[in-house]
Amino acid sequence: MNRGVAITGMGIISSIGTTVEENFNALINGKPGITVIENIATIHKNNIKVGEIKKTNSQLAEELGLSADNNFSRTAMLATIAAKQAVKNAGIADINEYATGLISATTVGGMDMTEKFFYDYIEREDNRRYIQAHDAGDTTHKIANELGLKGLVTTISTACSSAANAIMLGARLIKSGKLDRVIVGGTDALSKFTINGFKTLMILSDTYNTPFDNNRKGLNLGEAAAFLVLESDEVVKKENKKVLAYLSGYGNANDAYHQTASSENGDGAFLAMEKAFKVSGLQPLDIDYINAHGTATPNNDLSEGRALIRMFGDTMPDFSSTKPFTGHTLAAAAAIEAVYSVLALQHGIVYPNLNFETPMEEFNIVPQTVLKEKEINHVLSNSFGFGGNCSTLLFSKS
């Protein structure tokens, strides 16, 4: 069995912490980051809960040392913070020393700024520098520029599976020999656009999200950014790098059922998991923990639950969704959950699926509700997005 691609660095900022360590402490101490929204003025303020990073844009800009006339969207600032952490964690001194790439993911891009200045742009010149910051690629360019990276830089946007796809593309670029190392991950900031968008779909909960619970009402949106550094075996050996974990498998498939809803039998999810197992050479029995997509929407948890049962049958491993901690961070979700998966491998921890009370009537599986310590060798992480986009990542202990 091929071990996979080495993960040598991680960086993260989310509503439960501004570093890897802070996030981990929140997870093991059961401290979620779901609150009432403060940074955005919205009429829905009292009808939703969010996983908000309690820092203003000014604070983020100051932390990054940006000049007063910068044109970073919040999405770009969060991403830069996390990417810099990851690069530092991987002990990279000269980023261009090896053939290095950057694959980021986002759905919001600079929309958080565009929605502020939409009519303002026509009236005044003051904020027009943000026009350029709207598209997804600009967010990624900003990260690359702040890292001083010159090379293969691109961005993926496939809704909520985006970061998983960025991670698996990075792995493939290393396996094919095109790159020696690649920084991969995703970012999304909260925005009025997404808050209202999800509200129109009637899948936002007005209370704390309860994945896999029979009375679940919907998701809590969140914001976050996370990046991993993937490096080839040659570089790991040459630089004597510490490997945090391996990305041993990955798969992407399409549900081809409906634009926003998942199929009843979770076809796309099942196919994605199947592909991931094939790439890794692992079997369902090898999995010690599943970090589910588990958004707590009526549709996802049913579809995903069925897909998990189809895949694991009677030998369902411990599983939980960490979205009660962080909210659903859209394009960043798979990236922050990748960080959590690596931490689970390193520390032998299964995270609790918070807020769970009542098992779903449709099947017998229930998530792990309390923190559990055990040996974990392989973790499966799911992320499913609109457009039927289903992705699975497999992580293995180093």
Partner 1 sequence: MKKCYINGTACVSSQKTINTAFLQDIIINENDNILELSLPDYKEVILPAAARRMAKGVKNGIVASHWAMKEAGTQNPDAIITGTGMGCGVDSEKFLKALIDNKEEFLTPTSFIQSTHNTVGGQIALGLQCKAYNFTYVNGAVSFESSLIDAKMQIDGEEASTILVGGVEETSENTLQFLKLSGVIKDKEQSPYSVLGSDTTGAVFSEGAVFFVLENEQKATTYAELKDVSIYNLLEQNEIEAKLKAFLAHNKLTLADIDAVVLGYNGDVQYDGYYNTLANSVFANIPQLYYKHLSGEFYTASAFGLWVASHIVKLQELTSILQINKIEGKSFKNVLLYNQYRGADHSFTLISQC
Partner 2 sequence: MEALKQELKEKIINVLNLEDIQVEDVNDNDALFGDGLGLDSIDALELIVMLDKDYGIKLADPKEGKAIFQSIETMAKYISENRTK
**Smallest gap, in angstroms, from Cβ of residue 272 to partner 2?**
23
Look up tokens 């599943």; give the residue: 290
Q: Contact between 240 and partner 2 (CB under 8 A)?
A: no
Q: Indicate if 258 belongs to the active site.
A: no
The residue (of 12 and 195) whose beta carbon lies closer to partner 2 is 195
> How far is 195 from 132, CA to CA, in rounded Å?
23
Distances (CA, A) of 92 to 42, 150, 181, 241: 41, 15, 11, 10
Q: Indicate if 390 belongs to the active site.
A: no
Q: Contact between 360 and partner 2 (CB under 8 A)?
A: no
Paired tokens of 165 = 């796809």
Distances (CA, A) of 222 to 106, 162, 188, 282, 324: 13, 15, 8, 32, 10
Which window, 15-23, 59-67, 155-163, 233-241, contacts partner 1 (CB under 8 A)? 155-163
Which window, 12-20, 146-154, 286-294, 313-321, contacts partner 1 (CB under 8 A)? 146-154
From partner 2, partner 1, none, interface partner of 365 (C-beta below 5 to 8 A by class):
none
From partner 1, partner 2, none, interface partner of 261 (C-beta below 5 to 8 A by class):
partner 2
Burial class (CB in 10 A: 0-12, 13-18, 19+), 118: exposed
Q: Among 160, 258, 347, 378, which one carries the catalytic annotation? A: 160
Q: Which of 15, 23, 89, 157 binds partner 1 (CB under 8 A)?
A: 157
Q: Contact between 252 and partner 1 (CB under 8 A)?
A: yes
Q: Contact between 22 and partner 1 (CB under 8 A)?
A: no
Beta strands in 61-99 (DSSP E): none
Cβ partners under 8 Å of residue 127, min gap 6: 113, 116, 117, 120, 121
Q: Indicate if 160 belongs to the active site.
A: yes
Q: 62-77 burial string, b = 16+ CB within 10 Å, else e?
A: eebebeeeebbbbbbb
Task: Count the site residues for partner 2 by CB under 8 A.
Answer: 7
Closest CA to 382 of 314, 263, 260, 300: 300
Phi, then psi, of 251 in degrees rounded to 5: -160, 145
From partner 2, partner 1, none, interface partner of 150 (C-beta below 5 to 8 A by class):
partner 1
Q: Which of 36, 54, 91, 202 binds partner 2 (CB under 8 A)?
A: 202
Q: Which of 261, 365, 366, 371 binds partner 2 (CB under 8 A)?
A: 261
CA dihedral 353, 359, 361, 363 (to 10 degrees): 70
> Three-state SS for 361?
coil
Q: Contact between 215 and partner 2 (CB under 8 A)?
A: no
Q: Contact between 239 and partner 1 (CB under 8 A)?
A: no
> Three-state SS for 387?
coil
Q: Contact between 369 and partner 2 (CB under 8 A)?
A: no
**Which chain residues interact with partner 1 by CB under 8 A?**
42-44, 102, 106-107, 109, 111, 114-115, 118-119, 121-122, 128, 131-132, 134-138, 140-141, 144-145, 149-159, 165, 169, 172-173, 176, 178, 192-193, 196-197, 199-201, 252-260, 267-268, 271, 385-389
Residues labelled as active-site residues: 160, 293, 328
The contact set with partner 2 (CB under 8 A) reads 200-202, 258-261
